[in-house]
Amino acid sequence: MIQVIQAKDLFLKREVEQGTPKQRKVVEQILRDVQSKGDEVLFQLTKKFDGASLDSLRVTADELEQAQKAVDPTFLTHLKEAASRIRRFHEQQKQQSWMITEEDGTVLGQLTRPLERVGVYVPGGRAAYPSTVLMNVIPAQVAGVQEIVMTTPPQPDGTLYAPTLAAAALLGIEKIFKVGGAQAIAALAYGTETIPAVDMIVGPGNLYVALAKRAVYGQVAIDSIAGPSEVVVIADHSASPAYVAADLLAQAEHDPMASAILITPVKQLADQVAYELNQQLEQLSTKEIAGASLKNNGAICLVADLEEAIAVANRLAPEHLEILVEEPWQWIGKVKHAGAVFLGEYSPETIGDYFAGPNHVLPTNGTARFSSALSVERFLKKMSVISYSKEACLRDGHKVINLAKVEGLEAHANSIQVRLGGKEDG
């Protein structure tokens, strides 16, 4: 079921979702239609794709209240605790404006301001995850975003998945709309009669959502184009085969395209994990998805030692990296590329998905080489502040004139020249 291979044979096929020409054409048409016809198209497409005939796109206060009553009270208690932990972690990421004053009176600095309005897309169907609401909304709130607009596809009867709605209610999100797919992204980007245009769109979705986010980038900011989920587990002789197998399957059940890879220098562990995978897979209700993932994108990679294991993991730059070895902290300094790192046998990736506090919106497709988890910073923008003193302008003016003239920008040079009283020497 899962391949046992050598490091030289390990590769992870990664393709940024481009879609087929037909799929891209569908998305482009949806974007144009929503931009030109607004809510009318949203009602039509919601009926076409979700099977829901709606009277209104917006979720009512009564629906929010009913959702909180409908979910299990224990779930709601645990959701609140998770939200508290996530908020506490992201509070550490706050950034402030700053100014410095030089001896000549010049003031330089940076103003940090939150985005004004953010759109959060929350998937429905198989990927209806309340945790997605927490992870996308909380950092925006901590950053100081004043208005958060949420969209999520309805079920055929026109209702929304109660746990997702309960999570939104818990965080105080009031502007929630029953619309999904590329049409939701278009509505958030361009605005309609009912849905306001936003400054940034965050949240995962299917291929059509990803294509739409790519297409509207520039009109609005986006978080990323997420690919299939990934986990790499580095394990040595001290690791429990049952733990390793369970963690690989936890990732594999997300999607048939998800990848779950074990890297180990211990052949006996490799064999034991392969056995455990077969045993545990049979007990899963999601075994069809997880099995396809392991068959197509899973691997057990044998390496010479842990040094090579870390090197291979760095080359893969996975979304999630678990280090299940005897002394995990000994190796953290060697990790260069990963979305999130989980150290020790009691830090499974799953605890990061829901409860630990750090964000689970992470770079995929090897983009951990140059990008990071969703954070408070993504919801902030920064403006430089320059207040030059007369003394400094007279001192540095001739230098600026020289630089401008070399670039052939005469008016630039003149804007300084007039302040120097016609003299080129400062």
Q: What is the pLDDT of residue 162?
A: 94
Residues 351 and 407 in one domain: no
Phi, psi of 247 (to 5 degrees): -70, -35
Residues 153-173: pLDDT tens digits?
A: 999 999 999 999 999 999 999
Q: Which domain holds residue 337?
A: 3-15+228-356
Q: What is the pLDDT of residue 116?
A: 98
* Average confidence (pLDDT) over 388-413: 96
Phi, psi of 365 (to 5 degrees): 60, 30
- Mean model confidence pLDDT for the chain: 94
% residues pLDDT > 90 (the chain): 89
User: Angle at which helices 287-297 and 267-281 pack, to 10 degrees?
Assistant: 150
Of 222, 245, 275, the last residue of a domain is 222
Is 350 part of a structural domain of the chain?
yes
- Strands 117-121, 147-152: pairing is parallel
Residues 259-301: pLDDT tens digits?
A: 999 999 999 999 999 999 999 999 999 999 999 999 989 999 9
Instruction: Report the half-sphere exposure of 406 (CA within 13 A, side-chain side).
Output: 6
Q: What is the pLDDT of residue 363?
A: 94
Q: What is the pLDDT of residue 305?
A: 97
Residues 236 and 204 in one domain: no
Active-site option among 230, 319, 345, 349? 319
Is 131 part of a structural domain of the chain?
yes
Residues 248 and 290 in one domain: yes
Residues 273 and 338 in one domain: yes
Indicate if the pLDDT at residue 17 is higher than 80: no
For residue 174, give the amino acid letter: E
Residues 176 and 141 in one domain: yes
Of 174, 191, 222, the last residue of a domain is 222
Residues 218 and 232 in one domain: no
Active-site option among 90, 253, 276, 320? 320
Q: Are 348 and 243 in contact (CB under 8 A)?
A: yes
Is 385 part of a structural domain of the chain?
no
Residues 10 and 83 in one domain: no
Cα–Cα distance for residue pair 245/229, rounded to 1 Å: 16
Residues 368-386: pLDDT tens digits?
A: 999 999 999 999 999 999 9
Residues 236 and 212 in one domain: no
Indicate if the pLDDT at residue 15 is higher than 70: no
Distance set, CA 172 to CA 32, 54, 68, 166, 353 (Å): 32, 24, 12, 10, 22
Query: What global pTM score does this model have?
Result: 0.92
Domain count, the chain: 3
The CATH number that applies at residue 73 is: 3.40.50.1980
Q: What is the pLDDT of residue 426?
A: 42
* Average confidence (pLDDT) over 84-99: 97
Residues 261 and 402 in one domain: no
Residues 50-88: pLDDT tens digits?
A: 999 999 999 999 999 999 999 999 999 999 999 999 999
Residues 290 and 352 in one domain: yes
Residues 170 and 301 in one domain: no
Alpha helices, H only, 38-98: 39-50, 61-70, 73-91
Is 157 part of a structural domain of the chain?
yes
Q: What is the pLDDT of residue 5?
A: 74
Is 122 part of a structural domain of the chain?
yes
Is 365 part of a structural domain of the chain?
no
Residues 275 and 347 in one domain: yes
Q: What is the pLDDT of residue 157?
A: 94
Of 170, 198, 222, the last residue of a domain is 222
Identify each DSSP E strand in 186-258 by its residue range.
200-202, 221-222, 230-235
Q: What is the dihedral of CA 368, 373, 376, 378, to 10 degrees?
A: 50
Is 207 part of a structural domain of the chain?
yes
Residues with Cβ < 8 Å from 216, sequence gap 6 or more?
A: 31, 185, 186, 189, 190, 201, 222
Residues 222-266: pLDDT tens digits?
A: 998 888 899 999 999 999 999 999 999 999 999 898 999 999 999
Catalytic: 307?
Answer: no
Is 178 part of a structural domain of the chain?
yes
